[in-house]
């Protein structure tokens, strides 16, 4: 093997730095006028090699002066913040008032990270949900928290929704020394999603210019323009202040990694726009994609599920096609994303649906019904293509045990995470046709949920008017029992796949193993690349293979 040149190594390091596996998430947010039933949807693929643990934080009343511990990723207490008089219950990333939040790490300028700040983005999200009754309050609370206690993370984008409004928010740190009392805790800007529109985020700054005198639709921290001007990242002579240009400049490779996912959501939701791929392919002078687009048709819940399962199907970047997809059209690529051959650096496409997803969610918030019924987290584990979304109502008082069990270091059939991982990892060995078996069960379960949902919620709403406590128990039982039933059915699916697709054979309807081999298109490509290696002499005829019994 030849040694890589210094230039290739440097390019490869840039690829890796631009696409950290543990910080790679995708978000979609839909305003009520953009959805078929008037829901606000907030989606989140939380991507990284980790074992998610579903959590519920109970509501609480707190005495004056009572303090809330702030812990790091290792569970160590690193500081405290005051409790408000009351905190709301939170299930995963949606609170009991139907406020939900999602994030994607944008990174931004490295020098803006402040290790002296107290609040990491994940902590900030949970604190704000405990303290907010609307999406706007959540934005304002996040701003107050970082101003008082400091922001510890790199650049982040957030999508926030409630039954009436959806907001997008971006935040960067102030650099070292920006802790409380020595400067702003963070710089941030938030914009309300216009009704009838959607927005999408995927590891790259998306907000550019924004209105300064429209507090109904735009909120922001003070002093960001002076800060950017002092560092030479913006000059008034260049025109209106551009948030992304100042704090989130993107390389061509970063555009490929981030903007391609935004483009794919928009090209599916609003094909009439004919959005060009030029920007995410790094073509010089190409315009960034709009922050908001109006979908050609209003989006239903199952259509939003489908958007989260995208691999650029039907485009020039379709990851189920070509030699790199292997003989069975597997749409995912093993990390690292970037690689170098000689002096040239390359990168795989980065789809929305990826095997690195720990959990994903589609939250639903709806006006006109009690919060306990109107707010739902449709929760899934592992790769979105292989997962099954199960409803967790925001008013529940318990969570399914298997979704909170297990560790990354040890496989367990008692852990929902590992059950879903078993199916997706095994199905990856022969994606086509195994994905058809997965989708058969996936669509049956999700279809049943969606069919039953209106009747179940109507009955629950009647009960809620007379006995809210009993209705809450009913919602809890429905959520917990159905989630555990999904895990049971996924175990059965794994057993079916292992039996049906065994040792390279595929069992037919009678359970008889059949030799299926490889697709002809792939065989032709193999022969084209190795014309003399597999070919038999002209005079020879291939003998029938002996049967093994």
Q: What is the pLDDT of residue 545?
A: 66
* pLDDT tens digit sequence for 281-301: 999 999 999 999 999 999 999
Q: What CA–CA distance (Å, rounded) separates 42 from 290?
A: 18
What is the token pair recorded at 254?
Answer: 């970063």
Q: What does 434-461 look like in DSSP terms, one character per residue?
A: HHHHHHHHHHHHHHHHHHHHHHHHHHHH
Query: From CA 480, how far away is CA 393, in angstroms rounded?
Result: 10
Report the candidate in 14, 35, 16 with the shortest Cα–Cα distance to residue 24: 16
Q: Which one, of 369, 334, 397, 337, lies nearest residue 453 by Cα?
A: 369
For all residues of the chain together, what is the average pLDDT?
93
Digit-coded pLDDT (tens) for 105-164: 999 999 999 999 999 999 999 999 999 999 999 999 999 999 999 999 999 999 999 999
| CB proximity list for 416: less than 8 A, separation 6 or greater | 381, 400, 402, 403, 405, 406, 483, 487, 490
Mean pLDDT computed over 522-536: 91
Q: What pLDDT, on the 0 to 100 scale, is given for residue 12?
A: 34
**Closest listed residue to residue 170, CA positions, set 228, 243, 77:** 243
**For 386-438, how does the pLDDT look when each residue is reduced to its tens digit (9 = 90+)?**
999 999 999 999 999 999 999 999 999 999 999 999 999 999 999 999 999 99
526's tokens: 């193999």
CA dist., res. 323 & res. 344, Å (int): 20
Q: What is the pTM of this model?
A: 0.93
Query: Averaged over 175-194, what is the pLDDT?
Result: 80
List all residues 6 or more positions away from 470 whose beta carbon is below 8 Å from its beta carbon.
463
Confidence band for 540, pLDDT divided at 50, 70 and 90: low
Q: Which residues contact 527 (CB under 8 A, 6 or more apart)?
A: 534, 535
Whether the Cβ atoms of residue 29 and residue 196 lie closer than 8 Å to each other: no
Residue 4 has pLDDT above 70, yes or no: no
Task: Kindly indicate the confidence band of residue 3, based on its pLDDT and cuts at 50, 70 and 90.
Answer: very low
What span, in angstroms and rounded, lies between the C-alpha atoms of 80 and 387? 37
Question: Whole-angstrom Cα distance, residue 141 to residue 132?
Answer: 7
HSE, side-chain direction, 13 A CA sphere, residue 371: 17
Q: Are 28 and 200 in contact (CB under 8 A)?
A: yes
pLDDT over 60 (residue 56): yes
């Amino acid at each position: 093997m030849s040694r890589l040149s210094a230039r290739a190594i440097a390019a490869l390091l840039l690829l890796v730095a631009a696409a950290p596996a543990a910080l790679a998430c995708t978000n979609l947010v839909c305003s009520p006028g953009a959805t078929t039933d008037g829901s606000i949807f907030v989606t989140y693929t939380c991507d990284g090699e980790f074992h998610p643990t579903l959590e519920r934080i109970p509501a609480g009343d707190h005495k004056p002066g009572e303090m809330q511990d702030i812990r790091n990723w290792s569970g160590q207490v690193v500081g405290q913040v005051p409790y408000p008089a009351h905190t709301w219950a939170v299930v995963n990333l949606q609170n009991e008032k139907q406020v939900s939040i999602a994030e994607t790490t944008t990174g931004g300028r490295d020098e803006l990270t402040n290790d002296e700040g107290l609040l990491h983005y994940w902590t900030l999200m949970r604190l704000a949900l405990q303290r907010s009754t609307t999406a706007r309050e959540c934005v304002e609370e996040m701003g107050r928290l970082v101003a008082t206690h400091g922001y510890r993370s790199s650049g982040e984008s957030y999508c926030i929704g409630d039954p009436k409004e959806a907001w997008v928010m971006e935040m960067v740190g102030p650099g070292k020394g920006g802790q409380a009392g020595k400067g702003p805790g963070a710089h941030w800007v938030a914009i309300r999603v216009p009704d009838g529109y959607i927005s999408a985020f995927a590891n790259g700054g998306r907000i550019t210019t924004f209105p300064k005198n429209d507090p109904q639709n735009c909120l922001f921290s003070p002093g960001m323009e002076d800060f950017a001007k002092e560092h030479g990242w913006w000059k008034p002579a260049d025109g209106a202040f551009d948030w992304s240009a100042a704090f989130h400049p993107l390389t061509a490779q970063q555009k490929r990694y981030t903007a391609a996912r935004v483009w794919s959501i928009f090209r599916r939701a609003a094909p009439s726009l004919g959005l060009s791929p030029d920007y995410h392919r790094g073509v010089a002078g190409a315009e960034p994609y709009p922050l908001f687009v109006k979908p050609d048709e209003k989006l239903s819940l199952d259509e939003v599920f489908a958007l989260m399962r995208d691999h650029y199907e039907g485009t020039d970047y379709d990851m189920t096609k070509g030699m790199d997809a292997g003989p069975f059209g597997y749409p995912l690529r093993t990390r690292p994303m970037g690689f170098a051959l000689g002096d040239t650096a390359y990168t795989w496409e980065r789809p929305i649906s990826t095997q690195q997803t720990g959990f994903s969610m589609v939250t639903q918030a709806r006006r006109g019904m009690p919060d306990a019924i109107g707010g739902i987290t449709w929760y899934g584990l592992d790769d979105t293509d292989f997962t099954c979304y199960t409803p967790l109502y925001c008013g529940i008082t318990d969570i399914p045990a298997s979704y909170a069990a297990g560790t990354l270091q040890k496989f367990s059939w008692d852990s929902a995470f590992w059950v879903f991982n078993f199916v997706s990892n095994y199905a990856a060995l022969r994606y086509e046709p195994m994905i058809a078996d997965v989708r058969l069960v996936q669509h049956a379960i999700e279809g049943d949920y969606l069919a039953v949902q209106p009747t179940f919620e109507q009955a629950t709403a009647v009960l809620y008017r007379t006995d809210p406590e009993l209705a809450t128990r009913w919602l809890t039982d429905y959520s917990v029992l159905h989630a555990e039933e999904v895990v049971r059915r996924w175990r059965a699916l794994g057993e079916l796949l292992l039996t049906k697709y065994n040792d390279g054979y595929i069992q037919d309807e009678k359970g008889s193993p059949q030799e299926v081999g490889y697709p002809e298109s792939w065989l032709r490509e193999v022969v084209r690349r190795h014309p003399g290696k597999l070919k038999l002499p002209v005079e020879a005829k291939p003998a029938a293979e002996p049967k093994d019994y």
